[in-house]
């Protein structure tokens, strides 16, 4: 479908035993998916046991919790080692529908964009899907500040639904990034640093008891990390700062 390009879906999992199978079933319904990888970040439930029961899934497990960013590092490393041409991250908590995988893969497989985000903000899905109002307001404020500092026009930087051209991932200093949630912001900043275009498509989302979510304290830490990343980007653009995240 995409000139023999291999599509690999990665799922960074933590305590996702209740929703993993449902997410996997819908991923497999998308005919473009060639391979599925689940990385369990030392879950305290039966996530890894459920994952190992799923047909054709490559399962990896961290002996200790490495954090959301650390989980993604393993996901992308394994996907590239598996020969992926297109890598799509889908959260196994079923907050994002896997039905958008073909559209995201098509945008990358057609060489239109090297990165595609599933945006909860486009189309007004966030609040309708149950996003708490305080998170929505924080998302909008943080996105505005980051757009100003990064010189971009994204609707949001905080979605966990992401697709990448493997050639782009190989150029990024993934291991230099944080193992925490701010990894997401660092990754997008690195992509923008390379003057690569980030596309977005509207994505419905659902907030429910089994869906993963960070608390207010962790959200504040994440927000500060995002702003610091964007500020470093701007200072580096002005050549006032050189960091390993933004090499010249």
Tokens 């504040």, residue?
220
Compute the C-alpha angle 157/158/164, nearest 5°: 70
Are 233 and 246 contacting, i.e. CB atoms less than 8 angstroms apart?
yes
* Domain annotation covers residue 200: yes
Q: In terms of Cα–Cα distance, which of 185, 179, 191, 168 is closest to 246?
A: 191
pLDDT per residue rounded down to tens, the chain (248 residues): 566 899 999 999 999 999 999 999 999 999 999 999 999 999 999 999 999 999 999 999 999 999 999 999 999 999 999 999 999 999 999 999 999 999 999 999 999 999 999 999 988 777 877 788 888 899 999 999 999 999 999 999 999 999 999 999 999 999 999 999 999 999 999 999 999 999 999 998 877 555 556 777 888 999 999 999 999 999 999 887 777 666 65
What whole-number distance in Å separates Cα of residue 114 and Cα of residue 166?
8
Are 117 and 159 contacting, i.e. CB atoms less than 8 angstroms apart?
yes
Q: Is the whole model's pTM more than 0.75, yes or no?
A: yes
Extract the tokens encoding 126: 């966030």
Domain holding 76, by residue range, is 7-237
* Domain annotation covers residue 97: yes
Q: Could you report how far apart the first and last alpha carbons of the chain are, in Å? A: 37
* Domain annotation covers residue 50: yes
Which element (helix H / strand E) includes 165? strand 162-165
Extract the tokens encoding 20: 């993993």
* Domain annotation covers residue 1: no
* Domain annotation covers residue 137: yes
b/e for 142-169, b at 16 or more Cβ within 10 A? bbebbbebbebebbbbbbbbbbbbbebb
* Domain annotation covers residue 11: yes
CATH, residue 95: 3.90.550.10
Are 53 and 46 contacting, i.e. CB atoms less than 8 angstroms apart?
no
Domains held by the chain: number: 1
pLDDT of residue 59: 98
pLDDT of residue 129: 77
Tokens 């609040």, residue?
127
* Domain annotation covers residue 72: yes
Extract the tokens encoding 81: 């080692």
b/e for 178-197, b at 16 or more Cβ within 10 A? bbbbbbbbbbbbbbbbeebe
* Domain annotation covers residue 42: yes
């Amino acid at each position: 479908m995409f000139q023999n390009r291999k599509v690999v879906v990665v799922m960074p999992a933590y305590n996702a035993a209740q929703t993993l199978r449902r997410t996997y079933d819908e991923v497999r319904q998308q005919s473009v998916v060639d391979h599925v990888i689940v990385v369990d970040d030392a879950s305290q439930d039966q996530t890894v046991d459920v994952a190992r029961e799923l047909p054709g899934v490559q399962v990896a497990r961290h002996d200790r919790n490495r954090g959301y960013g650390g989980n993604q590092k393993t996901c992308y490393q394994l996907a590239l080692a598996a020969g992926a041409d297109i890598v799509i991250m889908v959260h196994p908590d079923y907050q994002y529908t896997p039905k958008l995988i073909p559209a995201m893969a098509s945008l990358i497989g057609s060489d239109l964009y090297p990165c595609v985000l599933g945006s909860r903000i486009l189309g007004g899905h966030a609040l309708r899907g149950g996003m708490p109002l305080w998170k929505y307001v924080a998302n909008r404020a943080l996105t505005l500040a980051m757009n100003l500092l990064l010189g971009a026009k994204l609707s949001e930087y905080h979605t966990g639904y992401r697709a990448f051209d493997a050639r782009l991932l190989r150029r990024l200093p993934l291991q230099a990034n944080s193992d925490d949630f701010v990894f997401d912001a660092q990754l997008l900043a690195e992509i923008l640093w390379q003057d690569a275009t980030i596309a977005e498509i509207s994505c419905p989302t659902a907030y429910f008891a089994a869906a993963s979510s960070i608390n207010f304290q962790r959200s504040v830490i994440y927000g500060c990390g995002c702003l610091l990343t964007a500020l470093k980007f701007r200072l580096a653009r002005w050549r006032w700062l050189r960091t390993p995240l933004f090499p010249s």
